[in-house]
Amino acid sequence: MTNPLRSSAAVRALLVAGGLAAAWLPSRAQAPMPAPGQAPAAVPGTFAENPIVYFVMTDRFVNGDPSNDHAYGRQREMNPKDDVGTWHGGDFKGLTQKLKEGWFKELGVNALWITAPYEQIHGWVQGGQREFKHYGYHGYWALDYTVIDQNLGTAADLRDLVDTAHAQGIRVLFDVVMNHPGYLDLQTAKDLKVDVLWDGWEKDPNLLRNYHNYIDYNSFKFGDWWGRPWVRAGLPGYIDGGRNDLTMQLAFLPDFRTESPDFVKLPKFLKEKADTKAADLPNTTVRGYLVKWLTDWVREYGVDGFRCDTVKHVEPEAWAALKAEAVKALAEFKAKNPTRKIDDAPFWMVGEYWGAGPEKHKLTSFGFDAMINFDFQQEDGAFARPEKLFRGYAQAQAGKPVHMLNYLSSHDTELFDRTRLIEGGTALLLAPGGVQIFYGDETARPEGPMPRTDKQQATRSDMNWGKVDPKVLAHWRKLGTFRARHRALATGEHRQLGDAPYTFSRVEAASGDRVVVALGAKGQVSVPVAGVFQDGETLQDAYTGRTATVAAGKVALETDGVVLLERVQGKAH
């Protein structure tokens, strides 16, 4: 695929040609009319109308295959404080195991966002201020975009993971980066034969402290790595990083020259790398190679979407080109593999644009279906009395499909208060917009050791399989599966119905999907439902499983603090 720098108008034309314009139109399909005396079915909506995304840091979840734990010579550390940045063993097989056990279905999850699966730098760099060995276990330090990192498994393992998820109606999203590759660490430089190292580093007992003393930063042999045409790197023979968002070097990482119109050839290290699938492409830019490499995962495995990292640091036209090609790639996969797809929905893309809030983002015109909402985590003061929050988010989510993805905890910020996960989970799973569940919020996974100068590492602890909080898990499962049945929670009209207990309705007019939720009361309660449900209808509280009949515009029932009212299927009204 060729990909010279394009104008905005040309990119939009490309999007339309790739079928993307249709992908952005909301689905307005009406729910089937019920038979006389029957309640309408719950309406989960298309994925774009009701995304419930589970973000799992693959390496920290389940170790399904211990034989791959030390790929490329990677090692763990004995002291937990020293071990925060190593590879811990989680892999594709572990994820597939949990899929087969029903872990994600029981949470109502309809998409699994996994960390980037392609090969990362082999070794480590100094973490924090020389506090720990920091490897690329998180997937943000790519070495080769065309092959699977051996710590995560094999091609067969990845195919099994995607196919198992698809069989359950769960989409798979890859975390991807177009802004930068990874550092040239000592081990990778040795493995790639980039001759910029001084002797003795492998025997130095104080290597963490002396790390940079073993690299010759004046060597023009750095050109054997990515090279000047590909990245800004501030090294001999390279262009220095710029001073704006699009050209700066984030955390001193090499910055891909995705805006360059120049055609490039493969870097020397990739030409000579024995296991790479990368090949020279005629008349292709840096952006073109990255788009080709990333969308090949879609063509090969049927990946359903991307979560795009550091969006503000790459020109919008690059994201638009990635989306347009990914739409075509997924359509090709589905045409060739009709039994391995979930449905015919188009490729979906969500972005991490640092600081983005719940409003519809300007980059939706450059390929993004949604943006991660950084504001939600900061709204925790409103979670106990959420009407203002819900009303405001419902107004912001006036357009469909969903354009914001709310989260409670994040690997890049902090974990939500572990003692308030019932309250926080209630707000997250009932809020308008889309949902992003960070692994372990449903089990009260505790923080890991916290380096003094890199606090985010504490958010990435191993999944707490041996000490799951049963009360938190049960709560999240009830709300998650309820949400999965009702797209009205994501995109419906919000209306407060009562104060004591706090009660609201969400109604999605086109489909007829409707729910009533009451919060903050225990024991016998009378919940107002007038204008949403009719007298004589039989309703079910999805939280307790109890049923009740509407009388005089109200439902009387026994509650455990949360009431989730929906129609009972097959009952007369």
The secondary element (H helix, E strand) that includes residue 463 is none
Query: Which of 536, 534, 550, 489 is CA-nearest to residue 514?
Result: 489
Give tens-digit pLDDT for 355-400: 999 999 999 999 999 999 999 999 999 999 999 999 999 999 987 8
The mean per-residue pLDDT over the stretch 439-451 comes to 98
User: Over 90: is that where the pLDDT of 458 sits?
Assistant: yes
The mean per-residue pLDDT over the stretch 123-142 comes to 98
pLDDT of residue 570: 52
Q: Under DSSP, is residue 118 helix (H, G, I), strand (E, B) or coil? A: strand
Give tens-digit pLDDT for 71-122: 999 999 999 999 999 999 999 999 999 999 999 999 999 999 999 999 999 9
pLDDT of residue 161: 98
- Encoded amino acid at 344, one letter: D
Among 7-21, 64-78, 346-360, the least confident range:
7-21
- Encoded amino acid at 460, one letter: R
pLDDT band at residue 429, thresholds of 50, 70 and 90? very high
pLDDT of residue 397: 92
User: Over 90: is that where the pLDDT of 573 sits?
Assistant: no
In angstroms, the CA 450 to CA 467 distance is: 20
Please state, as a whole number, how many other Cβ atoms lie within 10 Å of the Cβ of residue 411. Answer: 18
In angstroms, the CA 442 to CA 105 distance is: 13
The structural domains of the chain, ordered by start, are 52-212+288-488 (3.20.20.80), 495-567 (2.60.40.1180)
pLDDT of residue 144: 99
Give the percent of the chain with pLDDT over 90.
Answer: 90
The mean per-residue pLDDT over the stretch 413-430 comes to 98
The mean per-residue pLDDT over the stretch 480-503 comes to 97
pLDDT of residue 398: 82
CB contact at 8 A, 461 and 448: yes
pLDDT of residue 17: 32
The mean per-residue pLDDT over the stretch 280-291 comes to 98
pLDDT of residue 41: 56
Phi, psi of 320, rounded to the nearest 5 degrees: -60, -40
pLDDT band at residue 425, thresholds of 50, 70 and 90? very high
Give the percent of the chain with pLDDT over 70.
Answer: 92
User: Over 90: is that where the pLDDT of 43 sits?
Assistant: no
Please state, as a whole number, how many other Cβ atoms lie within 10 Å of the Cβ of residue 312. Answer: 15
Query: Which of 436, 445, 177 is CA-nearest to residue 294?
Result: 177
Known catalytic residues? 309, 352
User: Over 90: is that where the pLDDT of 18 sits?
Assistant: no
User: Over 90: is that where the pLDDT of 26 sits?
Assistant: no
Burial of 189 (0-12, 13-18, 19+ CB in 10 A): buried
pLDDT of residue 281: 98
Radius of gyration for the alpha carbons in the chain, expressed in angstroms and rounded: 25
Query: Which of 425, 446, 452, 481 is CA-nearest to residue 60?
Result: 446
User: Over 80: is that where the pLDDT of 11 sits?
Assistant: no
CB contact at 8 A, 537 and 549: yes
The mean per-residue pLDDT over the stretch 164-171 comes to 98
If you average pLDDT over every residue of the chain, what do you get?
Answer: 92
User: Over 80: is that where the pLDDT of 33 sits?
Assistant: no
pLDDT of residue 4: 30
